[in-house]
A and B are shown apart, each in its own frame.
Chain A
Amino acid sequence: MTNPILAVSNLCVHLQREGRRLPIVDNVNFALMPGEVLGLVGEAGSGKSVLARALVRAISSPLEIAHGSVVFEGRDIMTLSPRGLTSVRGNRIGFIGANPMGSLDPRLPIGDQIVEKLRSVKPKIGRAEAREKVLDLLARVHIPSPNARFHEAPFQFSGGMMQRVMIVDALVSDPSLVIADNITQPLDVTVAAQIIRLIDDLRQSINTTFLFISSSLPVVAQIAERVLVMQRGRIVEQGRTAELVANPQQSYTRTLLSRIPSIWKDVTSPVAVEGEAVLKVDNVTRTYFVRRRGTFNSYNEVKAVRDVSLTIKSGENFGIVGESGCGKSTLTRLLAWLEQPDNGRIAFLGKDLSLLTRRSLIEMRKSFQLLLQDPYGSLPAGMPVQRMIEEGLLIHGIDRAQAAPLAREAMAEVGLDGDLAGRLPVGLSAGQRQRINIARALVLKPRLMILDETLSALDQVEQTELLDLFNRLQATHGFSYVFISHDLALVRRMCHRVAVMYLGRVVELADNATLFERPHHPYTRALLSAMPTLEDNRFSRAQYLLDGEPPSPINLPEGCSFRSRCPRAQKDCEKVDPSLFALDDGNYAACLHTYGALTQKETADVE
């Protein structure tokens, strides 16, 4: 019977606020066996991050460790002398946080900083030896050109790459335990999946114990053998992952599991509708010029949106998905006509927007509205709720007397309490704030609502409520929606048709069922394979998850921009940059080889 490498008993952390003590971590007990990966799941506010820091005694006022013991490798961290503590932290226990870009000094080269850390915890190591070790690890986490990147500063890395650097930082001292606190949260879906795969691979060779913390059970389930479920500071359930998922014992665990949307099992996805075109986008391109660092007058071209065409029909929900850098934010700004395309045209209800006079444009603006992600920054400070909602009407020349009842009507429709009318938005929840935003748009009776990650800042419960609201409003008013999101589960639930973007292009455009069950483009498959889910993923990561990251939009390779990572890439992909080809079933994919030489393996899976 081996001893646990980490044994936590009765750990309590209190928050001192206004003379009261609130328990943030409440009598937590658990043990970690050497070599295992233990997952810790909890929603926001469950105390899991505080617990993570408490384990290494990194708690400062107003938080304080009330009592408890954390026995690591035979010694209680809570009672260690300062010297003992420094011999453990960073040395025997590694820590990776949720904010890779902010974890290192932003001015200095990352390589030097990792060397600095190594030599701080193991003073006997010489500089050359430390350097070698860092370079070796950088290569092992698949950072390309480690010798060059050693000397770069954090801002020159992408989020995913920087998280790999932090993994190196944690592992460089050969720790026996690594605490990973929400490390995949800020990352794109495919990048997060790569990181998890990386950790899994590394584990095979280094035999380090991992405590993997996340707010998402599907994410944790991919890597952890055992799972702890945390709610309001307490561990409510623990067990082997498979068993916990199949047979949850506690009601909270059951609730947690029920909130995870299913992608493939028992899903009725919305079926495509017919209708007139509300928004027609034709071959739209938008390029930015960014001054090249360190030169006098030359500029880099960033092709943010390249030759995008799509049509949004009346009463339809259209989804646009993609990861960082795919161009969806720029496309959103174009659709909302906050910026104009350099090429191509956008027509709303048949009228080309660029040809409208200023007056008719303002008039037209009533019909398509944009709802943004940030519920806090999107509301002007210092303006009462009702006045905010009236704003749109006031701009269009309706006087206050007439605008007021319309605003109140809109408030009622979105489910806002009438007596919030005179209040300032201070203290309102994120959900309520987004409702205010919806009311602001609603009051102008638009035909189209563009939702730019509008639900991303909300928790599960609020999201569901608002989705129901969207459906109700659509039934009453006949809106069309454009959902721009990175959340594939949301899109699966709500959208009739979906477009997938990569490096400024739409690489696939299909109806909901086809996209999720029989996608054509390899990138779509990679996305689906990377999705964290508890179901058996049709698209296994081993086969479909890609390596590497998208090339920089400044240096797009010739030909198909996806070919550097594509499993199907062939000679002609280097020359031709495919636009969307129509497929048999009325869907589109931007690939030269959709019909061509499909390998045996792919054909079998697609069917």
Chain B
Amino acid sequence: MFVLSFLLRRLLQGCLIILLVSFIIFTLLRVVPGDPARLIVGGMAPDEVVAMKAKELGLDRPIPVQFLSYLANLATGDLGTSFVRPKSGASLGGSAFNDQTREERAKVLELILNTLPMTLQLAALALAFALVVAVPLGTVGGLYPGRWPDKLALTLGSICVSTPNFWLGIVLTLFLSVKMKLLPAIGYRGFSYTILPAIVLAVEIVPFILRTLTVSVAQVMREEFIQLAPIRGLGRGRTVLKHALGNAAIPLVNLLGVQLGMLLGGVLVIEFIFDYPGLGLLTINAVLQRDFPLIQGIAVFISVMFVVINILVDLIAMTIDPRLEY
């Protein structure tokens, strides 16, 4: 019962947010210079053709009307059709306006759903790498504050956070891929192509986990119930793992939601550098090509994802910590 009311409340809030976001992006795209209609038909086309195309796409209507019809389509799950990308997935158009070989355009939702699994794979692997490195180090650093594990965590965190991800990607590509031929870098022809990008993304995640864990583990270890545990007869190992880590994980989970936005930026850049065919690359190309429906669709989709992930994170937080009330 409780969970249901919580979900209801959050979903409603989420819808409002998604609405707001889509409206902002929608308006932004419409008010900036650059005419998508012309882009589609090609630079050489005469004005009437451009006007006709604009009418066909509905670009001549007032903005609020366009928005409403967009919303209507959204409700049915139709995120529109790409201005640029053809169904076959081949490269962008740009041929003459009356070229018969111009194919049908791809649906935005399809494009998104095709690339989403790649990004998820990248994110999952990066998260795994980051957890494997940061959780043990952060925990030990918090257990012995001020000593070398803590200092190591601090220094490692500082270095990781000071490294521009695109630069790291380039440098790692140079050394690991080109010079030492250990790992493949550009594009995607198998799972191993995910490893290098995942390492770079992990470097972005690690400092956040390190910093949060060292602080919260140190804090929890000072709590009375931890001090009392050995007197009550609990073994140290059990105490640390179950009680200390369990409580220290709470702030970590809480801050996860906030971190998501920042991580997304990283994903975008990394996919761009490594030419990794995920959602990030799709986004950047969409922007560069002024593919309005695609940009919008991605923005809406990402907002939905964010809302869902935030709700999930809050649910997990509530499971770990019964004191939280939403």
Contact = CB atoms under 8 A, between A and B. Distances in A.
B2 A293 contact: yes
Given A89-B230, A294-B5, A107 B320 contact: yes
Interface string A95-133: 101010011111110000000110011000000000000
B248 to A, nearest CB: 11
A91 B233 contact: yes
Contacts of B322: 107, 153, 155
A104 B229 CA distance: 8
Interface in B230-263: 230-235, 238, 243, 246-247, 250
A95 B230 contact: no
A58 B233 CA distance: 11
Contacts of B1: 294
A340 to B, nearest CB: 27
B9 interface: yes
Interface residues of B, number: 27
B189 interface: no
A479 to B, nearest CB: 41
A99 B224 contact: yes
A95 B231 CA distance: 7
Contacts of B247: 105-107
Contact of A105 (B2, B227, B243): B243
Nearest to A175: B233
Contacts of A169: 232
B223 interface: yes
Interface string A72-93: 0000000000000010011100
Given A153-B322, A293-B2, A294-B2, A103 B224 contact: yes
B231 A295 contact: no
Contacts of A97: 224, 228
B231 A104 contact: no
Contact of A106 (B2, B6, B323): B323
Interface in B199-243: 223-225, 227-228, 230-235, 238, 243
Contacts of A90: 230-234
B321 interface: yes
B38 to A, nearest CB: 50
A107 B323 contact: yes
A24 B48 CA distance: 95
Contact of A295 (B2, B225, B323): B2
B56 interface: no
Given A97-B224, A102-B223, A105-B243, A86 B5 contact: no
B239 to A, nearest CB: 9
Contacts, number: 76
Contacts of A106: 225, 247, 321, 323
A295 B5 contact: yes
Interface in B271-326: 320-323, 325
A58 B231 CA distance: 7
Contact of B323 (A102, A103, A121, A153): A153
Contacts of A37: none
Interface in B139-153: none
B232 A56 contact: no
A69 interface: no
Nearest to B3: A294
A107 B233 contact: no
A117 B234 contact: yes
Contact of A103 (B225, B250, B321, B325): B225
A296 interface: yes
Contacts of B243: 105, 108
A102 B224 contact: yes
Most buried by A among B8, B234, B238, B321: B234
A117 B233 contact: yes
A173 interface: yes
Contacts of A120: 233-235, 238
A95 B228 contact: yes
B278 to A, nearest CB: 37
Contact of B225 (A104, A294, A296): A104
B226 to A, nearest CB: 9
Contacts of B224: 97, 99, 102-103
Given A86-B235, A117-B232, A102 B5 contact: no
B225 A56 contact: no
A107 B246 CA distance: 9
Contacts of A91: 233
B129 to A, nearest CB: 28
Nearest to A104: B225
Contacts of B230: 58, 89-90
A178 B250 CA distance: 34
Interface of B: 1-2, 5-6, 8-9, 223-225, 227-228, 230-235, 238, 243, 246-247, 250, 320-323, 325
18 contacts: A56-B231, A89-B232, A89-B233, A90-B230, A90-B233, A95-B231, A97-B224, A102-B223, A102-B224, A103-B225, A106-B321, A107-B246, A117-B233, A117-B234, A120-B234, A155-B322, A169-B232, A296-B5
Given A107-B322, A294-B1, 11 more contacts: A89-B233, A104-B225, A105-B225, A105-B243, A108-B243, A116-B234, A117-B234, A120-B235, A169-B232, A296-B5, A296-B9
